[in-house]
């Protein structure tokens, strides 16, 4: 039977295919799950590379130091170690949706691998927004997170908890409200959770026997500063490709002087 309405003229989205469904879910509840995005081969590669880069970071910085700054089991900026992670997060299914919300100019603000080990509390298991300390409502998304499930996200393995509609809540609600309304996002490995970065969420506790990995890429408008200066971190790699320069934020860094700012703008006129 056809759905009927009265007293309603306007509708945000009318033509509903899978893409529109994803857009509508992110718009209203704040998140959507895209299934079957990564192949088995990609998942295995992601798993072993995340573990290897993490080991490299542990060797470099020391596990005690990492623990002191809540960085244990967190892989910072894997895309700067291996282009594989850049390719994963720029699949068209993702960039099409990100572009829908952020428009023609967005950057990779940060990328992190989350290694949620069996029966260990992870720093990301605390409620947060991916834009921390922002306790207000914004009418349009300014950052979209793409959390790829490298392993199955289940109740057992510590699936992400989301608080639906919370991008429309200025402040975080009470623990009582959080517990009554949180949703545990079960998603098969190879899926990606795309969400408005203002949605409150946290990783679940991993009660299983296995490690549960995720890869979170945060895309933002270029007005927001990157967590790590990718130009420096990547030694300007891919700088010859205009689309990559833009995505990696090479063209939206803070100029050092008035003259440099003006020169930048002048160069763009040529």
Ligand X SMILES: O=C(O)CCC(=O)C(=O)O
- Decide which of ligand X, Fe ion, none touches 148; Cβ closer than 5 to 8 Å per partner kind: none
Nearest-CB residue to ligand X? Answer: 203
Burial annotation 215-233 (CB, 10 A radius, 16+ → b, else e): bbbbbbbbebebbbebbeb
Of 167, 164, 168, give the one whose Cα is nearest residue 181.
164
- Give whichever of 149 and 230 is closer to ligand X, judged by the CB atom: 149
CB of 268 to ligand X, least distance (A): 34
Pairing of strands 74-76, 31-34: unpaired
**Contact status: 130 vs Fe ion (CB under 5 A):** yes
- Decide which of ligand X, Fe ion, none touches 112; Cβ closer than 5 to 8 Å per partner kind: ligand X
Q: Which residues contact 89 (CB under 8 A, 6 or more apart)?
A: 79, 108, 111, 146, 148, 215, 217
- Give whichever of 130 and 151 is closer to Fe ion, judged by the CB atom: 130
Of 146, 147, 129, give the one whose Cα is nearest residue 138.
129
User: Binding segment for Fe ion among 24-32, 108-116, 129-137, 217-225 (CB under 5 A)?
Assistant: 129-137
User: Chain centroid to CA 190: how far?
Assistant: 15
**Contact status: 108 vs ligand X (CB under 6 A):** no
Contact code string over 159-198 relative to ligand X, x by CB under 6 A: -x--------------------------------------
- Give whichever of 30 and 214 is closer to ligand X, judged by the CB atom: 214
**Contact status: 151 vs Fe ion (CB under 5 A):** no
- Give whichever of 73 and 90 is closer to ligand X, judged by the CB atom: 73
CB of 201 to Fe ion, least distance (A): 6
* Residue of the chain from 33, 114, 192, 230 that contacts ligand X (CB under 6 A): 114
User: Binding segment for ligand X among 57-65, 110-118, 248-256, 257-265 (CB under 6 A)?
Assistant: 110-118
Q: Which residues contact 200 (CB under 8 A, 6 or more apart)?
A: 127, 128, 129, 162, 163, 166, 169, 172, 178
Of 28, 58, 33, give the one whose Cα is nearest residue 147.
33
CA dihedral 24, 30, 32, 37 (to 10 degrees): 110
CA separation for the pair 142, 155 (Å, rounded): 30
- Give whichever of 159 and 248 is closer to ligand X, judged by the CB atom: 159
**Contact status: 130 vs ligand X (CB under 6 A):** yes
List residues binding ligand X (CB under 6 A).
112, 114, 116, 124, 130, 147, 160, 201, 203, 214, 216
List residues binding Fe ion (CB under 5 A).
130
């Amino acid at each position: 039977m056809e759905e009927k309405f009265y007293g309603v003229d306007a509708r945000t989205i009318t033509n509903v295919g899978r893409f529109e469904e994803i857009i509508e879910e992110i718009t209203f509840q704040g998140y959507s799950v895209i299934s079957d995005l990564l192949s088995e081969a990609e998942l295995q590669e992601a798993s072993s590379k995340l573990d290897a880069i993490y080991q490299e970071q542990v060797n470099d910085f020391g596990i005690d130091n990492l623990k002191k700054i809540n960085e244990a089991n967190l892989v910072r900026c894997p895309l700067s170690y291996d282009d594989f992670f850049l390719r994963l997060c720029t699949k068209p299914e993702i960039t099409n949706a990100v572009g829908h919300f952020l428009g023609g100019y967005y950057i990779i603000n940060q990328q992190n691998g989350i290694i949620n080990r069996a029966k260990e509390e992870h720093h990301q298991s605390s409620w947060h927004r991916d834009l921390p300390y922002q306790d207000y409502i914004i009418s349009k998304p300014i950052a979209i997170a793409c959390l790829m499930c490298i392993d199955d996200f289940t109740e057992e393995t510590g699936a992400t908890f989301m608080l639906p509609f919370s991008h429309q809540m200025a402040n975080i609600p009470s623990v009582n409200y959080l517990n009554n309304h949180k949703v545990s996002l079960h998603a098969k490995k190879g899926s990606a959770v795309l969400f408005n970065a203002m949605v409150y969420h946290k990783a679940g506790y991993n009660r299983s026997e296995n490690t549960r990995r995720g890869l979170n890429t945060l895309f933002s408008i270029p007005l927001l500063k990157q967590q790590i200066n990718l130009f420096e971190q990547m030694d300007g790699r891919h700088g010859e490709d205009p689309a990559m320069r833009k995505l990696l934020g090479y063209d939206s860094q803070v100029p050092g002087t008035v003259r440099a700012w003006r020169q930048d703008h002048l160069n763009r006129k040529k």
